Amino acid sequence: MTIQGSTSTIAGAAVGTAGTTFPLWNEWVAFLSGTNQWVIAIGGLVVLGLTIRKLLLENRLAERRLREMDDRRS
């Protein structure tokens, strides 16, 4: 058997094995894709929550500074 012949045999075996196991690893790919969507969604909610918290803290700080400036003028 030549190198070229054994290469095509190995490639054929790999393709055949992938074809017979396709239903199994296709389900894993679909599961992982769905899992990634959940991770991204949860991460987005965390970032949104932290952004809202930051804006609320900045708003409170600005109100406090305005009150202090108003007290100094009076």
3-state class of 21 per DSSP?
coil
Say what the pLDDT of residue 45 is: 95
Domain that residue 36 falls in: 3-73
Q: Per residue in 8-48, pLDDT tens? A: 666 666 666 666 666 666 677 677 777 778 888 899 999 99
**pLDDT mean over 52-67:** 96
Q: What is the pLDDT of residue 7?
A: 57
Confidence of residue 53 (pLDDT cuts 50, 70, 90): very high
Tell me the pTM.
0.53
How many Å apart are CA 48 and CA 40, to the nearest integer? Answer: 12
Please state whether 63 falls in left (phi above 0), alpha (psi between -120 and 50) or beta: alpha
- CA-based nearest residue to 43, from 31, 55, 51: 51
For residue 64 the two structure tokens come to 């406090």
Count of structural domains, the chain: 1
Q: Give helix then strand counts, H and E, for the chain.
A: 2, 0
